[in-house]
Amino acid sequence: MPIYEYACKDCNTQFEALVRSDTVPECPECHSIQLEKLLSVFATTASAPEAPPHFPSGCGGCPAMGVPGACSMH
Protein backbone atom coordinates (compact mmCIF):
# COMPACT_ATOMS: atom_id res chain seq x y z
CA MET A 1 0.00 0.00 0.00
CA PRO A 2 1.73 3.17 -1.13
CA ILE A 3 1.52 6.52 0.60
CA TYR A 4 0.48 9.38 -1.70
CA GLU A 5 0.41 13.13 -1.16
CA TYR A 6 -2.75 14.99 -2.14
CA ALA A 7 -4.12 18.52 -2.26
CA CYS A 8 -7.85 19.01 -1.88
CA LYS A 9 -9.34 21.08 -4.71
CA ASP A 10 -12.20 22.26 -2.49
CA CYS A 11 -10.43 23.43 0.70
CA ASN A 12 -6.72 23.43 -0.37
CA THR A 13 -5.69 21.09 2.45
CA GLN A 14 -2.54 19.08 1.71
CA PHE A 15 -2.22 15.62 3.25
CA GLU A 16 -0.76 12.16 2.87
CA ALA A 17 -2.88 9.04 2.57
CA LEU A 18 -2.14 5.34 2.63
CA VAL A 19 -4.13 4.15 -0.38
CA ARG A 20 -5.16 0.66 -1.38
CA SER A 21 -5.95 0.01 -5.01
CA ASP A 22 -9.67 -0.45 -4.33
CA THR A 23 -10.21 2.69 -2.18
CA VAL A 24 -10.81 6.31 -3.10
CA PRO A 25 -9.04 8.76 -0.77
CA GLU A 26 -10.90 11.72 0.69
CA CYS A 27 -9.84 14.97 2.31
CA PRO A 28 -9.55 14.67 6.10
CA GLU A 29 -10.91 18.22 6.54
CA CYS A 30 -13.92 18.51 4.22
CA HIS A 31 -14.26 14.85 3.08
CA SER A 32 -14.18 15.84 -0.59
CA ILE A 33 -12.88 13.38 -3.17
CA GLN A 34 -11.90 16.19 -5.57
CA LEU A 35 -8.17 15.70 -5.02
CA GLU A 36 -4.99 16.42 -6.93
CA LYS A 37 -2.16 13.92 -6.52
CA LEU A 38 1.06 15.79 -5.73
CA LEU A 39 4.59 14.93 -6.75
CA SER A 40 6.30 13.31 -3.78
CA VAL A 41 9.89 14.10 -2.94
CA PHE A 42 11.95 11.50 -1.14
CA ALA A 43 13.87 12.61 1.93
CA THR A 44 17.44 11.61 2.61
CA THR A 45 19.23 11.55 5.93
CA ALA A 46 22.84 11.74 4.77
CA SER A 47 24.50 14.36 2.65
CA ALA A 48 27.16 13.71 0.05
CA PRO A 49 30.73 14.25 1.21
CA GLU A 50 32.35 17.47 0.07
CA ALA A 51 35.59 15.74 -0.91
CA PRO A 52 36.29 12.15 -1.91
CA PRO A 53 37.69 9.98 0.90
CA HIS A 54 41.48 9.74 1.20
CA PHE A 55 42.83 6.27 0.51
CA PRO A 56 46.29 5.25 1.75
CA SER A 57 48.88 4.54 -0.92
CA GLY A 58 49.92 0.93 -1.54
CA CYS A 59 52.98 -0.51 0.24
CA GLY A 60 54.60 -1.67 -2.98
CA GLY A 61 54.55 -5.38 -2.13
CA CYS A 62 51.35 -6.46 -3.87
CA PRO A 63 49.70 -6.32 -7.31
CA ALA A 64 47.40 -3.56 -6.09
CA MET A 65 50.34 -1.14 -5.89
CA GLY A 66 49.26 2.33 -7.01
CA VAL A 67 45.55 1.56 -6.88
CA PRO A 68 44.02 3.74 -4.12
CA GLY A 69 42.22 1.67 -1.50
CA ALA A 70 42.86 -1.65 -3.26
CA CYS A 71 45.32 -3.10 -0.71
CA SER A 72 43.53 -5.16 1.95
CA MET A 73 46.50 -4.85 4.33
CA HIS A 74 45.99 -1.10 4.85
Domain boundaries defined on the chain: 3-37
pLDDT confidence of residue 59: 61
How do the pLDDT tens digits run along the chain, 74 residues long? 688 899 999 999 999 998 888 889 999 999 999 999 998 766 666 665 666 555 555 565 666 666 666 666 55
Contacts by 33-37, CB closer than 8 A, 24 or more apart: 34/8, 34/9, 34/10, 35/6, 35/7, 35/8, 35/9, 36/6, 36/7, 36/8, 36/9, 37/4, 37/5, 37/6
pTM of model > 0.75 = no
pLDDT confidence of residue 8: 97
pLDDT confidence of residue 19: 86
pLDDT confidence of residue 22: 86
